Structure 1
Amino acid sequence: MDRDKAVEVRGVSKSFGSYQALKSVSFDIGANEFFTMLGPSGCGKTTLLRMLAGFESPDSGAVLLNRREVTSIPPHKRRVNTVFQSYALFPHMTLEQNVAYGLENLGWERAKIRARTGEMLERVHMSAFASRKPAQLSGGQRQRVALARALAPEPEILLLDEPLSALDLKLRQAMRDELRNLQRDTGITFVFVTHDQEEALDMSDRIAVLGAGEVQQIGTPTQIYEEPVNRFVADFVGETNFLDVEVLEAQADRAVIRSALGTFEAPATKLMQKGPATLSLRPEKINLGDQAAGVITLDAKVISQNYMGGFTHYTLEAGGVTLRASRRNASRQGDLVPSGEAITIGFLPASARVLAS
C-alpha cells in the first residue's frame, strides 16, 4: 500500500480469563483511509477498537499510531476520538455546548472554539439546531452531533463503534452516505466497526474480516466479496452456495474440479492441492431461463421462490443438489418462474470460487 501508515497493529493478543479474544493479530491502516473491521459478535473487533482508543491494553504485541508506539499511552494523550453506538451526548448541554466541550478541555481560545463549533455543526447540517438539547433530536440528528463533536478537535484517527446500529433502515442508508462524504472531505482516517456486511461493502476502502479472534482476510470490498480466501469469509460476507468438489488439477490461482454441476476450471485460492475442496457460487451468479445460454448449463426445477421487490430469490434442485439463485426483476411480477417448473440454469465458471476444505 502506497499511502502512509496511520495505524499499525503488531502481533496483538488479548485474553479475558480463559477466553482468548485476539490471537496475534497484525495489520496496517493507511492515512486517510476508510477502514472497516467486520465480523460477528465475539470476533474481537470491538476489543481491537478499544485498544486503538487506549481503553484496553494488549497482553502481547504493540499498537502504533502514525509511527509512534502508543501501547502504554492513555486515551487522552492520543489524537484519537471515538463515536459510540449510544452517541454519549451530554443531555443537559445544547448541541453547541456538546461540540465545544472537548475543545474547552483542550484549552482552545474562545474565538477559535466558537468558529470550530459553528463549522462542525454546519458540516453535519445541524447549525439550525445549535441551541437545542439532545432530547429534542431524532436518532439521526443525535448521531450527526456525535460526529461533529468527535471531529471538532481535529483527531488524526476517528474510531466508530457500530454507530449506525440503532437507526432504522432508511436513516442508516442516509448516514452511510454522510459518513463516507465526511471522511472524504476531512481526510481523517476512519476506523469503523460493524457486523453489517452491507455497511462494510458500501463505505470502505478496505475491510478486515475477523473471526474467532483472528484476521481472516483483508482487502477491498470487491476482493472480499468476489475473492474470499476461505469458507468463513465466503459465508459471512453475502450469501453463497457451497458444494463439495474434487480438485483434479491445481495451478497457482485456478483449479480443475469435478462437481455435481460438471467438470470445469474455476478461480481458486492460492496453494490449492488435489483432493476434496469446496466450491462457492453466489446466488446472483446463477442465470435462469433464456439468460443461461452460452455458459455451463443444467436442467433444474424450481422448489420455491421469494419475491423481494427488486429481486426474486429462488430455491432450485439441479444435479442432485439444492441451490439458491437470485434474479433481478427487470419487468412485472408476472415474469416470475413459478414453483414446480422445470428451467435451464447456468453460470460462468469464472464467477465461482474454489476454497480449500
Structure 2
Amino acid sequence: MARGKAVEVYNVSKSFGTYQALDQVSFTIQENEFFTLLGPSGCGKTTLLRMIAGFESPSEGAILLDGQQIETLPPHRRRVNTVFQSYALFPHMTLAQNIAFGLENLGWDRRRRRDRVAEMLELVHMTPFAGRRPAQLSGGQRQRIALARALAPEPQVLLLDEPLSALDLKLRQAMRDELKSLQKKTGITFIFVTHDQEEALDMSDRICVLGQGRIQQIGTPSEIYEDPENRFVADFIGETNFLEAEVLELAGGMARIRTPFGLEITAPQKGLAGPGPATLSLRPEKIGMESQAEGHLLQGTVTGRNYMGGFTHYTVDVAGQSLRVSRRNALSHAEGHAPGQPVSLGFRADSVRVLAQ
C-alpha cells in the first residue's frame, strides 16, 4: 500500500539580509519515513527544520503538511513537535509533569492526560522515574523524556534538531537504536537534522544532503554512499580517494577512462556531457591489498599506517599518487604492512564512480 505525503517542500528559499541560507529547495517526505537532513554547519538544514516547525518563514516557496499549505500558520496550529539539542525540559517539574504539560495546554482532560503520560513513560522505559526532576537524570534519560514529551500529543511529524550531539559516543550509539525503534513503534514521520554522517547512514530511510543552501543529493543511505552524484557528496559522506582522470568515450551509462596510473577502465557514469577531464571517486575499503587484491592491479609503497581497532588505514604511494586504503583486521594481532614496504593493490572498475564537475 502506497504511503501518503507527510511533508512537501516546494522551491523554498530563505534569505537573512544579503545572506542566502536556502536556495530553491524542493523535496517530499512520505508518511512514516525517517528522513534526515545532513550537511555541514551553515548549510541551511536547521533553518529548513525551523521553517517546517513554524519558527521561521520562507522568503519564497511553499511548505505543505498533509496536503495543507502551512507556511503562514503559527507553530501551535501545526501537528508538528520539535526535540531540541538542549532538550528544554522544565527543571521545576517532575518527568510526568513535563510530559503532561503540553497535553494540558491542548485541553486534554485529567484522566486522558494521566493515561497518555503512563503510556509515554513506558514507551521510553522511564516509568520508575516518573516522580524525578530533570536534574536527577543522566543525559540519555533526559533525552528519552524530551522524546516522550514531544510524542505525547500524537504529532503528525516529529522534528529532531541534532538531539544526540551532547551525548557521549556509547550513549549516542544506543540512542540511535532507541530512536529507530520509537519511530517504527509510533508510525510518526521523523525529520532528523545532523552533521554526523554515521548517524544519518545508520538511522535513515532516506537522506537529503545539503551544501551551500542547496540540495546536493537525495537517496537511501546506500545510494548516497555508493553512488554519490558529485564531489561534495562523495567527500562529505565517508572517506574517498579523488583521482583526476580523462574520459575518453561515453557509451550509454558507461565511460571509458584513462586513470592517473596509466590504466584504462570502463566504469558507470551519469551526468557527464562528453569526453574530457573528470574526477573519479574510489573508496578506501574498495581497494584490496596483497591477497585481497583483484581486478586492476597496482604496485605501490606504504607511506603511512593508522591502527583503528577494527580497521587499519594505510597511505600508499602509487606512481606519485597517494591512495588511502582500509583493511579490516579480521585476525587478532595480525602483522600489518610497515611504512616503506612494497605492496600490491587491486580495485574493480565497478567500484569507481565518475563524478559530475
Structure 1 and Structure 2 fold alike (TM over 0.5) = yes
Query: Match for residue 114 of structure 1?
Result: 114
Specify every segment of 5 or more residues in structure 1 that has no aligned partner in the other structure, as ranges. none
Is the 1:252–1:270 Cα contact (8 Å) retained in structure 2? no
Query: Match for residue 64 of structure 1?
Result: 64
Give the AA of the match of 1:284.
E
Query: Match for residue 267 of structure 2?
Result: 266
Structure 1 residue 224 and structure 2 residue 224: aligned? yes
- How many Å separate the matches in 1 of 2:82 and 2:227? 32
Query: Match for residue 33 of structure 1?
Result: 33
Give the AA of the match of 2:303.
I
Query: Match for residue 90 of structure 2?
Result: 90
Give the AA of the match of 1:22.
L
What's the offset of the Cα at 1:223? 0.2
Give the AA of the match of 1:135.
A
- How many Å separate the matches in 1 of 2:101 and 2:169? 31
Structure 1 residue 103 and structure 2 residue 103: aligned? yes
Structure 1 residue 76 and structure 2 residue 76: aligned? yes
Post-superposition CA distance 1:102-136 (Å, at most 9, x none): 00000001111001000001100111100000000
Query: Match for residue 207 of structure 1?
Result: 207
Q: What is the 5 A alignment of 1:175-254?
A: 175-254=175-254
Is the 1:9–1:64 Cα contact (8 Å) retained in structure 2? yes
Specify every segment of 5 or more residues in structure 2 that has no aligned partner in the other structure, as ranges. none
Is the 2:268–2:352 Cα contact (8 Å) retained in structure 1? yes
Is the 2:271–2:356 Cα contact (8 Å) retained in structure 1? no
Query: Match for residue 285 of structure 2?
Result: 284
Query: Match for residue 15 of structure 1?
Result: 15
What's the offset of the Cα at 1:253? 2.5
Is the 1:207–1:220 Cα contact (8 Å) retained in structure 2? yes
State TM-score, norm by structure 2: 0.98
Give the AA of the match of 1:278.
T
- How many Å separate the matches in 2 of 1:334 and 1:84? 45
Query: Match for residue 147 of structure 1?
Result: 147
Is the 2:35–2:206 Cα contact (8 Å) retained in structure 1? yes
- How many Å separate the matches in 2 of 1:149 and 1:57? 25
What's the offset of the Cα at 1:2? 4.3
What's the offset of the Cα at 1:335? 2.3
- How many Å separate the matches in 2 of 1:332 and 1:178? 32
Q: What is the 5 A alignment of 1:300-319?
A: 300-319=300-319
Is the 2:297–2:346 Cα contact (8 Å) retained in structure 1? yes
- How many Å separate the matches in 1 of 2:334 and 2:328? 13
What's the offset of the Cα at 1:272? 4.2
Query: Match for residue 325 of structure 1?
Result: 325
Is the 1:253–1:270 Cα contact (8 Å) retained in structure 2? no
Query: Which stretch shifts more, 23-32 or 332-341?
Result: 332-341
CA RMSD of aligned residues (A): 1.0
- How many Å separate the matches in 1 of 2:79 and 2:253? 42
Give the AA of the match of 2:265.
F
Determine helix, strand or coil for the equivalent of 1:11. strand
- Identical-residue share of aligned pairs (%): 67
Post-superposition CA distance 1:65-121 (Å, at most 9, x none): 010000100000000000000000000000000000000000001111001000001
Query: Match for residue 335 of structure 1?
Result: 335
Post-superposition CA distance 1:194-230 (Å, at most 9, x none): 0000000000000000000000000000000000000
State TM-score, norm by structure 1: 0.98
Query: Match for residue 45 of structure 2?
Result: 45
Is the 1:284–1:327 Cα contact (8 Å) retained in structure 2? yes
Query: Match for residue 347 of structure 1?
Result: 347
Alpha-carbon spacing, 1:235–1:180, altered in 2? closer, same or farther (3 Å): same
Query: Which stretch shifts more, 50-59 or 271-280?
Result: 271-280
Give the AA of the match of 1:267.
P
* Alignment size in residue pairs: 356
Is the 1:11–1:25 Cα contact (8 Å) retained in structure 2? yes
- How many Å separate the matches in 2 of 1:159 and 1:334? 46
